[in-house]
Amino acid sequence: MIENLVSIIVPVYNASTYIATCVESLLVQTYKNIEIILFDDGSTDDSLAKCRQFSEQDNRIKVFTQANKGVAQTRLNAFDNSNGEFITFVDSDDYVANNYVENMLSHLKNENVDMVSSQVVIVKEGKEKKVVRYVEGRFDKKGIKRILRRFYLCDKRTLTTGITTYLCTKLIKREFVREALVAGLNLWYGEDQVGVTKLLYSIDSLYVSQDYTYYYTMNSSQATKKYDASLWQSMISCWQRQIDIDKNRILSKQLAYRMMLNINNALFAKYAYKLTNYNEFKNQISLVRENETLSILFDKKHLHITRKIDCVFYLLKRRHYRLLYCILRLKGLKK
């Protein structure tokens, strides 16, 4: 019996430190009929040279390169150069268990679904932590809508997403992939979340496994781990893309929760300690507060997420910027 070809797409950008661990985890997969697309996005280190060395060792590896265009465009270009009936994505600084592909494909076939989503292990400074999520099992179209409405972007039991919103951790039938990648183009923040949202609106069936076979490595060089003045607009663009996808407003309550979680995290984890004066803070945060995209958040009277997050929501809703700024500065001084 002829086995289905699975394409594993790996966008590569200045990943010299990590790429060997990533590729080696793919080469030892128990499912052998794979092609590994290493697509270099204009790296300035020796990532491309290392990718070419790997391709000389195993003919299942295909290497491409381009001038820097960002991860979303790189994934799309890699997809257009792939041949698999099923597609999965692995980031170049991550790695997977040796049965990752076999498990995912087995679930997809046994459950007769369009996409499988697995769980993730966070790896930080050599320590592993499983992210607990309670959504699992097979879902038809109605079940997927229920996830979107109640758990997708914020499961209040865990204060994380109900299923992983990474394009990684997914095995997807080829016919659904391109539109999902196009949906996230030109975003440097949230392109995965937008792509997965598009997938959930496109597919007819989903299986969420409890397999912890994907290892997500956190490191300080990741784009979303750094503060950037364009962070706010990037987040807003991400949310607006999801609003555009969500024609029937199934996602509106969940998206409001996600907006507030993202704003809270940005304020306390990335933003507060970079500010030097109140006027700078007020100018930037007021642009967020007044942006029309956030009307689905600030039209709400209450959120009932956590006391701390609800407090931030209240201060923003009432435009108490100076009080919020003082709280953030006090928090920063304790760091």
DSSP for 157-212, written as a single string: TTTB-SS---SBTEEEEGGGHHHHHHHTTT-SSSHHHHHHHHHHHH-S-EEEEEEE
Average pLDDT over residues 181-201: 96
Average pLDDT over residues 275-288: 85
Is residue 314 predicted with pLDDT exceeding 90? yes
**175 vs 230: CA distance, rounded Å:** 33
With CA atoms as reference, report the closest residue to 270 among 256, 283, 257, 284.
284
Average pLDDT over residues 190-196: 97
Is residue 224 predicted with pLDDT exceeding 60? no
Rounded to the nearest integer, the mean pLDDT of the chain is 93
Is residue 299 predicted with pLDDT exceeding 50? yes
Which pLDDT does position 334 carry in this prediction?
55
Answer left, alpha or beta for residue 126, where phi above 0 means left and psi between -120 and 50 means alpha: left
Q: How confident is the model at residue 270 (pLDDT cuts 50, 70, 90)?
A: low
Contact 43, 14 (CB under 8 A): yes
Average pLDDT over residues 100-128: 97
- Express as a percent the part of the chain with pLDDT over 90: 85
Which pLDDT does position 277 carry in this prediction?
84
- N- to C-terminal Cα separation, the chain: 60
Which pLDDT does position 198 carry in this prediction?
98
Tokens of residue 302, six digits: 């209450």
Question: Any idea what DSSP says for residue 132?
Answer: P
**15 vs 314: CA distance, rounded Å:** 41
